């Protein structure tokens, strides 16, 4: 029995193109941590990681932030084991962010659909401030217009995995960003 998922699972990842090295990621995450710390100086920041993809990025980012932080998570999905978004966003959380400075931490800003849905949902809680941070900003046409204050890297329209990003829950453990296409 062969499916697309099992074929992808057997892929030889070391032979795939490395789009962003782990050292470049580490350097940029340090820079983002400094920027965020400066921008939120004197305030407590509530970091909201978008599961599952942002957990690695958030873990590294928070260690570079030198102001008081609280960390929480929500779960969002629009891919459902596909390489292209289904257009339907599923969101799960039980957060209370009223009157708090909130920074949503996302792995990749691609179509903008998921992030738009998250920001609209969290805005209903009336946070003191609400901003977004994404490790990757995929350059695609007709993207939903969402302001992302902090961006790690701009990338072309490629399907990428590693550093928390996955395909069908595989490849999150890769320490760099690799292209599957």
Cα gap 181→173, rounded to integer Å: 18
Cα gap 181→178, rounded to integer Å: 9
Cα gap 28→152, rounded to integer Å: 6
Candidate list 66, 110, 157, 166, residue with the active-site label:
110
Q: Encoding tokens for residue 153?
A: 């890297």
Please report, for residues 69, 86, 139, the alpha-carbon distance to residue 111 in angstroms, rounded to integers and kept in the order given: 29, 11, 9
- CA 9 remoteness from chain centre: 22
Question: Which 3 state secondary structure label does DSSP give 46?
Answer: strand
CB 54 within 8 A of CB 164: yes
CA atoms within 13 Å, Cβ hemisphere of 156: 5
Determine whether 157 is an active site residue: no
Residues designated as active site: 110
């Amino acid at each position: 029995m062969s499916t697309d998922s099992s074929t992808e699972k057997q892929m030889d990842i070391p032979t795939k193109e490395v789009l962003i090295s782990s050292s470049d990621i580490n350097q940029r995450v340090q820079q983002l941590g400094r920027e965020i710390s400066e921008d939120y100086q004197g305030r407590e920041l509530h970091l909201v990681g978008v599961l599952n993809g942002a957990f690695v990025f958030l873990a590294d980012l928070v260690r570079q932030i030198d102001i008081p932080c609280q960390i929480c998570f929500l779960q969002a999905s629009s891919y459902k084991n596909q390489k292209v978004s289904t257009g339907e966003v599923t969101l799960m959380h039980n957060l209370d962010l009223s009157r708090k400075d909130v920074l949503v931490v996302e792995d990749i800003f691609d179509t903008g659909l998921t992030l738009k849905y998250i920001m609209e949902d969290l805005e209903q809680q009336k946070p003191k401030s609400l901003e977004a941070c994404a490790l990757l900003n995929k350059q695609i046409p007709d993207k939903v217009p969402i302001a992302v204050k902090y961006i790690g890297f701009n990338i072309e329209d490629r399907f990428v995995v590693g550093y928390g990003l996955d395909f069908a829950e595989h490849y999150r453990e890769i320490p760099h960003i690799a292209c599957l296409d």
